[in-house]
Amino acid sequence: MEFTARQISDMLSGTVQGDSDVKVSRLSKIEEGVPGSLSFLANPKYTEFIYETKASVVIVGKDFIPEKHVAATLIKVEDAYAAFAKLLEIYHQIVRDKKGVEQPCFIDQSATTGIDIYVGAFAYVGKNAKIGNRVKLYPNSYVGDNVIIGDDTTLFPGVIVYSDCVIGKSCTLHAGVIIGADGFGFAPSAGSYNKVAQIGNVIIEDFVEIGSGTSIDRATLGSTTIHKGVKLDNLIQIAHNVEIGENTVIAAQTGIAGSTKIGKDCMIGGQVGIVGHLTIADNTKIAAQSGVGTSVTEPGQIIQGSPAFSISDYRRTYVVFKKLPDLDKKIQELEKALAEIRQTIS
């Protein structure tokens, strides 16, 4: 789609400096601008590029005053970064504004679907599933029996939602996400392991985003629950009966073992491992690559390490750890000197 500088300026409540009729049809970085593209300048470190960019239109702050000729048309706004972010969201909505049912796909006769949905080719919707308004099921997505998906939720290609799971409104599940696979439950018996049936489900509340390749297991009994506003990165493993509190964010490659309860507004770095049956208090921050083996009961703590403990103690400990080779050398020198003294005395 094409937009003129004037149309973009109207969207952003800005003012045009230059050719208001110039058209753009794509977005670009200011240093990589090409004719027909729209860019922005928010960081002063990139100011030099505005004088040489080939972008047709550049969004700038209202206080920007060129020191030399700028070929691009400028749109002056209160906050260039916020304005460009707004345009990205508009562009995002336009690109993803899909509707209709592509063929071949399968929607069971007992399933119910809302208005303005999109069902891509080779998607599958099972028995008694309930699909809300404006839901988007991209190609090769799978929605099992009795699944409920709320309004304005998007499942990208290859997302699999097993039977009986519930997904709320305005959620985004990126490619390859798996919701509701069996939890890792096996009972040891005479040198073998007998599978424990996993008959619960997964409940994902509203405004949750889940990155590609993440897997959330169904509960043994009851529900694995992801509360409102949670943001999960790619390649995360969440085991059976885990509960994650509202607005918690978790970075890639983190693994959370079964029945652990994580509080609200927590921040968990990449490659963190959390053992099962723990409680993590609200507002806890866990540094990347930490291993959490005990509950965090006091809200607002920052922990690091494996095993993880207070970050201030960890930093003091790490200073000593870095000096261990020197300390070992000194100890060896002292032991050698002590041995020489003993030999002299004897």
Strand pairing report for 291-292 and 273-274: parallel
- Burial of 40 per CB tally in 10 Å (0-12, 13-18, 19+): buried
What phi and psi values does residue 45 have, to the nearest 5 degrees? -60, -20
Q: Could you check whether the bond before residue 44 is cis, i.e. omega within 30 degrees of 0?
A: no
Alpha helices in 113-175 (DSSP H): none
Active site residue 174: no
Distances (CA, A) of 313 to 254, 258, 305, 318: 23, 28, 10, 9
Dist. CA 214–CA 219, nearest whole Å: 16
| Selected catalytic residue, list 92, 227, 240, 277 | 240
What is the largest distance, in Å, between two alpha-carbon atoms of the chain?
99
Residues marked as catalytic = 240
